[in-house]
Amino acid sequence: MTTRHVIAKTGEIAPGSSKIVTVAGREIGVFNVGGDFYALANRCPHAGAALCEGFISGLVGADGPNKYRLERKGEFIRCPYHGWEFDIRTGQSWCDPKSMKVRQFSISVAPGETLVKGPYVAETFAVQVEENYVVVDL
C-alpha cells in the first residue's frame, strides 16, 4: 500500500531543473522534464552515489567519428561519480539498459484543492487552492 507525499508546488521546480527531497527516510530527486514530473531515487544503482546531484543533459550520439549529436535535451542525468547516463523518464542506464536501472517512484500532479482536505497536506507547505502540487507515491 502506498502513501502519497506532497513534495512541492509545481512552480517550485521549473522545467529543466530538479529538487532533492527526503520522503519517509528516502532521498528522492524530482525532475521537471518539459513540464512532466519524474522521481528517481537519489542513489545510483552502480555504486550508490547521489545520482540526482549529477548533471541534467541530453543524449549524446554520433553518426560516426566527428559527427556529434545532442538530442533529447533535458531527459538524461549523468551521475556525478562515474558519469553513467540515466534516462530520467525510465530510470534506465543508457549503457546497460537491461541490467542497470534507477529506482523510480510514481509521481503525479495533484491540484491544490484535493490536497487541502485530509491528512495529505505536508505541514511545511502553505496550501493554496489555485496551485498544483507535485505528489509522490511511496
Partner 1 sequence: MNAPLREQKAAQKLMIVDCDIHPIQRSAKDLYPFLSKHWREHLETFGGHVRQGLIEQTMWPRMMAAGQRADAYPAQGGPPGSDFELMKRQHLDVNGVEFGMLVALSKGGMEERNPDLARALSSAVNDWQLEAWVKRDARLKAGIVVTGEDPAHAVAEIEKRAGDPSFAQVILSPRSSEPLGRRKCWPIYAAAVRAGLPVGLHPAAIPGGSASSGAGWPTYYMQEHHTFVTGSQATAVSLVMEGVFEEFPDLRIAMIEAGFSWAPALGWRMDRVWERMRKETPHVKRPPSEYMREHFWFATQPMEEPENPQDILQVFEWIGWDRIMFSTDYPHWDFDDPRQAIRVRLTDEQREKIFRANAKALYRL
Partner 2 sequence: MKLPLDGAIDCDAHMSVPNVAALLPFMSDYWRDQIVNRYIDRAGFNLMSYPPRSPFTVRDDWRPTSADKDGLDVLRRDLLDPFRLSTAICHTLHGSIALFNEDMGAEFCKAVNSWVARERLDREPRLRASILVHAQNPALAVEEIERCAEDPRFVAVLLPVMGDNPLGRRLYWPIYEACERHGLSLAVHAGSTYRHAPTGAGWTSFQSEDYVLQSSAFENLIVSFLAEGVFQKFQDLKLVCMESGFTWLPTLIWRSSKTWRGVRTEVPWLDRVPSEIIRERIRLTLQPVDAPRDPKILNRILEQIASDDMLLFSTDYPHSQFDGEDVLPDGLSDELIRKIAIDNPLAAFPRLASAHAGQKEQNRQENVQ
Binding site for partner 2 (CB under 8 A): 46, 60-65, 67-69, 78, 82-85, 93-96
Question: CB-wise, 24 or 62, nearer to partner 2?
Answer: 62
Q: Which residue's entry shows cell 525510465?
A: 90
Environment class of 33 (CB within 10 Å of its CB; exposed 0-12, middle 13-18, buried 19+):
buried
- Among candidate residues 16, 12, 9, 18, the one with its CA nearest the CA of residue 39: 18
50 binds partner 1 (CB under 8 A): yes
Which of partner 1, partner 2, none does residue 80 bind to, with CB < 5 to 8 Å depending on kind? partner 1
Contact 133, 13 (CB under 8 A): no
Smallest distance, partner 2 to C-beta of residue 52, A: 18
Smallest distance, partner 1 to C-beta of residue 26, A: 8
34: its cell numbers: 518539459
113: its cell numbers: 484543492
Alpha helix positions (H), the chain = 112-116
25 binds partner 1 (CB under 8 A): yes
Question: CB-wise, 73 or 82, nearer to partner 1?
Answer: 82
Smallest distance, partner 2 to C-beta of residue 66, A: 8
